[in-house]
Amino acid sequence: MTGIPLRKIYIDSRYKTNDSASDSDFRFQLNKNTFMPNGSEFCIDEINVPYAWNTIESSINDTMYFVWYATDTSTPTYTAITIASKRYTGTDLAAELTIKMNLATPIVWSVVYNTSSNTLTFSSAAVALFRLISDAELAKAPSTTFPGMNPYDFKSANDILQIFPNTASGRTGVPITSGFLNLLNYQDLYLSSATLGNFDVMGVRGENSIIRKVCVDSSWGFSIVDKNTHDEDWMGCSKLALSTLDFQLRDVRGNIVPLHGAHLSFTIRFRMG
């Protein structure tokens, strides 16, 4: 280990700086400035992530968009509903959507959870036609369709409901069935850092700040512990001056993953390449 000023740094979000946003978006101040020599490398190890997020999270994936026609000749009515932020079972989610769709429109709607297929069935006896709107359709929608919607961040629940462009339309007597529900919300998490990220890595959105991918292999309320470090996980940190480090735990879309006050911890290991 000759020439390495540090072998390890233990990080725990409990010790984040006062100006940090949260336990999944924080800064960590080292007690001394440390210069990493040429040829040095680092990897993230012994990561412990609490499974503390909800199925639906406010301002992340809490909106469902749909359009309906009262009659065959009426103009379309575009509607967005906000789903309460919480953990859901399929039955709970069906009940919540039924309530919110009925509150948002003068039409009577029914949403039923299908246990055998893990899907939702949407129906109404009072519409000529209706359709759940996918993200791909939202991207093409004029700004007047859903006033106030961010055209770059729909905050849609479509990943949970598995609503895609080929989802069929419904009408009186013909319901819509969702895809296989994704009640976990996240399958993979990405630990990122502007300080440590580099061009050794590229994410699905082209980002270079990812320093560790974490597969969600635990249940809600438990910790996800990842100690499986491979040689390919080592990344260059030559000539970096380390003082204040930044870390973000993100989902595949780049959203900060809410931990609701739970704490994230991991180890940064160093070596000469």
Inside any domain, residue 138 = yes
Of 177, 206, 227, the domain-final residue: 177
- pLDDT-derived band at 170 (thresholds 50, 70, 90) equals confident
pLDDT tens profile 2-44: 578 989 999 999 999 999 999 999 999 999 999 999 999 999 9
Domain range for residue 108?
A: 63-177
Length of the chain: 273
Number of domains comprising the chain: 2
Rounded to two decimals, what is the model's pTM? 0.89
Q: Which whole number is the average pLDDT over 51-56?
A: 96
Q: Give CA–CA dist 126/253, Å, rounded.
A: 37
Q: In this structure, is residue 47 part of a structural domain?
A: yes
State which of 177, 206, 225 marks the end of a domain.
177
Helix (H, G, I), strand (E, B) or coil at 59: coil
- Residue 198 CA: distances (Å) to CA of 41, 58, 234, 257: 11, 31, 11, 22
Output the domain CATH number for residue 36.
2.60.120.1100
Taking residues 107-125, report their average pLDDT. Answer: 96
